[in-house]
Amino acid sequence: MVDDRFWQRLDDVRRERGFLTPAETMALVRHEVSVLDPFSVLVSRWARLGPDTVLYPGATIECDERSRCELGPGSVLYGGARLVASGGGRIAVGRGALIGEGGARITAQGADRIHVGDRTRVSNGAELTGSCRIGDGAQVLGPISVRDVELAAGDAHTHPDPDRRGGVLKGYGRAHGLRVGRGEVLNGAGDFHAAPLERQRAYHPDAPRLPH
């Protein structure tokens, strides 16, 4: 049987590293945050979580007192999602963003500023570093090293007209210092600078064309 000393030591270990204790993590429900397993989820005490945020088992948010990490209302962190803000870095995740299905890491250090907009998707092993702007509705899909990239804002991936959706990176490899416009996609296989910039419609030829 586990005694009180075990629970005290568990709390102390988390506090020493700036994380909420399991009890404090469970208490996030008072702020309308859904934590599916408070023992496997790690949440920095300096993080800011909007209402209706969902944290799946294995999600991690690290943020020191000099930095900022904010999750907008209705955002979801799946298991394997890790957000790290340190040394003054800033991470802002918008409303209804889906982060980390299949794993993802977002890291902001020092002067780095990473903005992940509303209704975005970052998944399947993606890694964001440097100063990135992932506009509303944009997507990063796959094991891609993303640094200093801008994906233009648009409608979400569920919108029937691909010309209106946010910019997309998909595939695998290295994507540094790039810009992808609304309704555009870079499908990379190694160096994204060598990938052709395409219209998303090329992958959805039968999709409707709706008024802009």
Domain ranges of the chain: 4-203
Residue 12: partners with Cβ closer than 8 Å, 6 or more residues away: none
Place of tokens 């993802």: 104
Distances (CA, A) of 188 to 28, 67, 130, 141: 39, 32, 20, 11
Q: What rounded mean pLDDT belongs to the chain?
A: 95
The CA distance from 96 to 15, in Å, is 29
What is residue 4's predicted lDDT score, i.e. its pLDDT?
Answer: 75
- Residue 1, pLDDT score: 56
Instruction: Give CA 3 to chain center in angstroms.
Output: 37
Residues 6+ apart with CB under 8 A from 108: 67, 84, 85, 86, 89, 90, 91, 114, 129, 131
Can you give the pTM of this predicted structure? 0.94
pLDDT of residue 80: 94
Residue-wise pLDDT tens digits, 43-93: 999 999 999 999 999 999 999 999 999 999 999 999 999 999 999 999 999
The CA–CA distances, whole Å, from 57 to 38, 39, 54, 77, 153 equal: 8, 8, 10, 9, 30
Cα-based distances in Å from 37 to 10, 15, 49, 58, 122: 15, 18, 16, 8, 22
For domain 4-203, give the CATH number: 2.160.10.10
| Residues of the chain falling short of pLDDT 50 | none
